[in-house]
Amino acid sequence: MTSRTAEPSPEPLWTDFEPASCTRFSLPVEQKDGTVLPLPGYVVRGATSGPTLYLHASQHGTELNGIKAILDIVAATEPTALSGTLVAVPVANPLAIRSRSYLPEGEPNANRAWPGDPQGENVQRIVHALFDNLVRHADAVLDYHGINARYASAIWMGEPEYDIAIELARVFGLPCIEMVGGKGDQPKTFLKPGVDVRVCCARDLSIPAITVEPRGEMVTRPDSVRELVQGAFNVMRWLGMLSGEPQAPPFRAGGRRVELAAPMEGLYYARVEPGELVDEGTVLGELVSFTTLEVERIIAPMHGFVYMNGPYLRDGHTLNDIADEGEGVVIMWETVAPDDASWRPPAHQSPAKSKG
């Protein structure tokens, strides 16, 4: 392990890094007040040349699984077995992490600020440093986020980058890929306007980028970390950076989608975990009325994939097991074989509360 501090440069900063090496670097990002924010990351250079995979986590301060996953990915990538370059930034937005919240106060949303601005707000300067030094020299990009624990892990995509990024999304290997809508640089149905990294990569660089939303925010989950590690290794195999084939998921979510609502106000107690495959008739959860103490069971209407199970507050982050009458408490999808040629990623249609 060697350490480098690099000046921002339009050239890949790893140009003169040794083959078959792992280097910790630090990008200096000048902030509005003149102080310099260090932005640390790793470059694993393979023994032979090949594609470059860039991945980062925690553009948002509540999304922590990707930090641990990226550390594990770097540690498990053997430079002598690698063809090409792995570039990894565990904390893409230190200001958000330090704020202990989704967004640092007074700053723009990092994932609506691509490709950034070296003269802009502090977060825009960080995004620009990532874009100019690292992302634009990549062949594929993984953007790790996090979603509240009522959801199964999923990949989010939009139409602007679909054609460029769908194959990357497929090989990553999560069973659920969903279309979250929006045009990337226009107001979305539930996401704030602005350009996210996926659209920026497709539009400005013609390279694939995907948003990965592992289950769990504000805490780390071993199962989610494993999914992110597995996905990155699947992608490196697909790119030819490592030998072997990507591991396909056991199924893909798609086809018929159902959303089940609470028949009354009450305490919702989930009986199965998001991400599980269940049969028709499975008890997904129980609802206890506060007025009659009557218990209603929420039953799976079909065989399928439990994408969401449980209510949560409208801020998208705070879990709360009290459901209002009529509030959606379950989202299920049918499943298809992972190689089904007719499969298309399902569209996100629920009244979206999550910020991604």
User: Which residues of the chain form contacts with Zn ion (CB under 5 A)?
Assistant: 60, 63, 145, 356
- Interstrand relation of 83-89 and 48-57 (parallel, antiparallel or unpaired): parallel
Kindly give, in sequence order, each residue whose CB lies less than 8 Å from that of residue 262, ignoring residues fewer than 6 positions away.
Answer: 268, 287, 298, 311, 323, 324, 325, 326, 327, 328, 329
First to last CA, the chain: 34
User: 197 Cβ partners below 8 Å, 6+ apart?
Assistant: 59, 111, 114, 135, 141, 143, 209, 211
Shortest Å, Cβ 129 to Zn ion? 19
Nearer to Zn ion, 22 or 212 (CB): 212
Complex with Zn ion: residue 63 or 227, whichever CB lies closer: 63
- Compute the half-sphere exposure of residue 343: CA atoms within 13 Å on the CB side of its CA: 21
Residue closer to Zn ion (CB basis): 62 or 335: 62
Token duo for residue 294: 């009557």
- Closest approach of Zn ion to the CB of residue 229, in Å: 19
Phi, psi of 149 (to 5 degrees): -70, 0
DSSP letters of 244-283? S-PPPPS-EEEEEEEEEE-SSSEEEEE-S-TT-EE-TT-E
Helix axes 65-76, 222-238, angle to 10 degrees: 50
Name the residue with the smallest CB distance to Zn ion: 145
Q: Which residue, 132 or 196, is less far from Zn ion as judged by CB? A: 196
CB closer to Zn ion out of 45 and 60: 60
Two tokens, residue 127: 């995004």
Q: How far is the CB of 66 from Zn ion (least distance, A)?
A: 9
Q: How far is the CB of 93 from Zn ion (least distance, A)?
A: 10
CB of 144 to Zn ion, least distance (A): 8
CA distance 142 to 154: 13
Q: By three-state DSSP, how is residue 306 classified?
A: strand
CB of 82 to Zn ion, least distance (A): 28
For Zn ion, give the closer residue by CB, 52 or 62. Answer: 62
Nearer to Zn ion, 23 or 124 (CB): 124
CB of 271 to Zn ion, least distance (A): 29
